[in-house]
Amino acid sequence: MSYNGASMNPPPTIVAVSTSSKHVKLERETELRIEVSDTPLKLRVVNGTAQTDGTTETDYTADETPMVSYLNVHAILNARRRVAQASESTQGPRVIVVGPEDSGKRTLAMLINWAAKEAWKPTFVDFDVTQGSVSIPGSVAATPIETPLDPVVGFPLDMPLVYYYGHTKPGTNVELYKATVMELGRVLERQFLGNYESRVSGKAGTRRSGM
């Protein structure tokens, strides 16, 4: 990758090409992070061209990318799916992602995409009533995932299971929220009993913490 910007003293992994251009070689599982200001900044990657605006003030190669952890989780989930597949009476993995608002919970939808790309059919369950990934805010919902998610369309709505709670905070009526979630869970359990593929593929859900 090369980019044009203000000259600066690069770290060892960055080789200066000229006073206004640098060449960066990224090792596997690393990231290039750049802080910019108001001067135009151009990026060029091996498989295409990327462009952004700003002057390079700080840049460095990072090896603390969370992708390694995500891939490890994906590998563990796949192993448990294969165990469930070998035994028809075994339930596939169940994962819940919990975090505060805007903490990146939905970025882990990539776990669902990776599963779908390998022909698994997991079920996505949304317990977060503040936003609503599958249906409107104030509801809990579940939907089967058979193909990778479309970044524009979002979650498939062909066969969603939706229960309307009526509030955007579980704390508004805790007992009703619990009853709604439990009813959703009971219906999903009945569906899994008759759907082998969904049962072994497992469930993945999101919930906002501190609600």
Distances (CA, A) of 40 to 48, 83, 174: 18, 53, 51
- 189's tokens: 């359990």
Q: Which amino acid is at 79?
A: A
Element (H, E) at 162: strand 161-164
Residue 49: the pLDDT is 44
pLDDT at 99: 80
Per-domain residue ranges of the chain: 2-62, 89-208
C-beta of residue 108 within 8 angstroms of C-beta of residue 116: no
pTM of the predicted model over 0.85: no
pLDDT, position 70: 86
| pLDDT of amino acid 178 | 95
Q: Rounded distance, CA 29 to CA 14, Å?
A: 16
Per-residue confidence in pLDDT tens, the chain, 211 aa: 544 444 444 444 443 334 467 777 777 766 677 776 666 666 666 554 444 445 556 666 666 778 888 889 999 999 999 998 888 777 889 888 888 877 777 777 789 899 999 999 999 999 989 888 888 999 999 999 988 888 778 888 888 899 999 999 999 999 999 999 999 999 998 888 888 888 888 867 766 655 5
Pairing of strands 94-99, 203-208: parallel
Which amino acid type is present at position 91? Q
Confidence at residue 8, expressed as pLDDT on a 0 to 100 scale = 40
- The CATH class for the domain spanning 89-208 reads alpha beta
Whole-number pLDDT of residue 10:
41
